[in-house]
Amino acid sequence: MSATSYRELLTRVKSEIREVDVNQAQALIGSGAYAIDVREPDETAQGIIPGASAIPRGFLESRIEELIRDREAPIMIYCAVGARSAFAVKSLEELGFTNAVSLAGGFGAWKTAGLPFEMPLSFSPEQTRRYSRHFLLPEVGMKGQRALLDARVLLIGAGGLGSPAGLYLAAAGVGTIGIIDDDVVDDSNLQRQVLHSTERIGTSKVESARLTINALNPDVQVIGHETRLTKENVIEIFSNYDIILDGTDNFASRYLINDACVLLGKPNVHGSIFRFEGQVSVFDSSHGPCYRCLFPDPPPPELAPSCSEAGVLGVLPGVVGILQATEVVKLIIGIGEPLVGRLVHYDALDVTFRNLRVDKDPDCPMCGPGAPTTLDDIVYSDLSCAVPTLSRA
């Protein structure tokens, strides 16, 4: 048996697969076919076809099934000149993919034809490994990861809700996490506030959170605000963030956070916990109700004990905070249906999740007609559980 040269092998493989030209490839992508770039990272760094997934040739067989389950899905594979992609199609056919084609002339032909390409989002080798499970989800992919890394999220409180939310947002690669908290770690916090630890008792919560988050993911820039949120500083602080995550345990702060988010047009990912129950919603007054649409009047103080007075099951904020973190990630990437206009009520004892519809109040004092345009005339009590009032001038 005589040895086959590379040229002969390539010619034979090309005769056994289907090739398309750049115009056919463009039409395929336009009709929803998967585009896969099998070049190496140093090549894709020079530009890729918009919408293509980059899977280096050496990883194609091992990764393709995670990206594409449907063996009949149309797939257009390209490389630099159309050789590696020809072998790639041949190999996919052996894996049972029936509708894969190779782009003749590869990315070179695409570029020469003047068709659009984009500079790929660049990730370090460490990031490529760290976020690989995101890259495997077409709905997230490199674009979604880049959006996460570019996002700025503010956690109000590094406590029960802020802890699990902060941990998971950091793990997911949210690039900038602001934390506002003026408290220090107390041993009574450790039953639920998993950002902190026994050795940090007495340390500022912001500093403790920064240490934990950066130990988990050094990509994250943690911005600490060791202060109490007031109507004097809220607008300036919120202005630096895309999304606000409300993890407070008192009504005065909730109304202040809501009102500032309404004025700034920023989404407020709200969570609250009480004993064995939790609530989550996304208040985005430009697309749905705000917190005051739902609760125009705060409950009387005797019916609104704070966490420290009411007690809370230690695992409960884990569930609620991670639901909040999930909403934040969805908002950043732009996937799924956000909890705008809906409130999820979770009962840990019954294990029930109730999805309640909440409507915008046409007469809402904060997002309705004639609502204030500044916080100047709104009175927020300093007492943690006292009732804030909205006085309309």
The catalytic residue positions are 307
At residue 169, what is the residue type? L
Least separation, in Å, of the C-beta of 363 and Zn ion?
A: 9
Q: Which is nearer to Zn ion, 192 or 292 (CB)?
A: 292
Structure tokens at 6: 């590379």
Least separation, in Å, of the C-beta of 379 and Zn ion?
A: 18
Distance separating alpha carbons of residues 6 and 27, to the nearest angstrom: 31
Is 60 an interacting residue with respect to Zn ion (CB under 5 A)? no
Greatest CA span in the chain, whole angstroms? 95
Q: Which is nearer to Zn ion, 293 or 340 (CB)?
A: 293
Is 292 an interacting residue with respect to Zn ion (CB under 5 A)? yes
From 7-15, 283-291, 301-309, 316-324, span contacting Zn ion (CB under 5 A): 283-291
Structure tokens at 329: 């990630």
From 15-23, 94-102, 150-158, 292-300, span contacting Zn ion (CB under 5 A): 292-300
**Binding test (CB under 5 A) with Zn ion, winner from 64, 140, 243, 364:** 364
From 146-154, 174-182, 342-350, 357-365, span contacting Zn ion (CB under 5 A): 357-365
Specify whether the CB–CB gap between 124 and 45 falls below 8 A: no
**Binding test (CB under 5 A) with Zn ion, winner from 367, 378, 385, 390:** 367
Q: Which is nearer to Zn ion, 82 or 365 (CB)?
A: 365
Chain-centre distance for alpha carbon 174: 7
Least separation, in Å, of the C-beta of 258 and Zn ion?
A: 8
User: What part of residues 185-224 is at the interface with Zn ion (CB under 5 A)?
Assistant: none
Least separation, in Å, of the C-beta of 288 and Zn ion?
A: 9
Distance separating alpha carbons of residues 29 and 207, to the nearest angstrom: 48
Q: Which is nearer to Zn ion, 154 or 290 (CB)?
A: 290
Is 293 an interacting residue with respect to Zn ion (CB under 5 A)? yes
Handedness of CA 319, 299, 290, 249 (dihedral sign): negative
Number of chain residues interacting with Zn ion (CB under 5 A) = 6
Q: Give me the count of residues in the chain.
A: 393
Among candidate residues 295, 235, 293, the one with its CA nearest the CA of residue 266? 235
According to DSSP, residue 83 is labeled S
Structure tokens at 239: 């202005």
Least separation, in Å, of the C-beta of 49 and Zn ion?
A: 45
Among candidate residues 238, 56, 257, 273, the one with its CA nearest the CA of residue 161? 273
* Burial (CB count within 10 angstroms: exposed 0-12, middle 13-18, buried 19+), residue 288: buried
Q: Which is nearer to Zn ion, 316 or 366 (CB)?
A: 366
Binding site for Zn ion (CB under 5 A): 290, 292-293, 364, 366-367
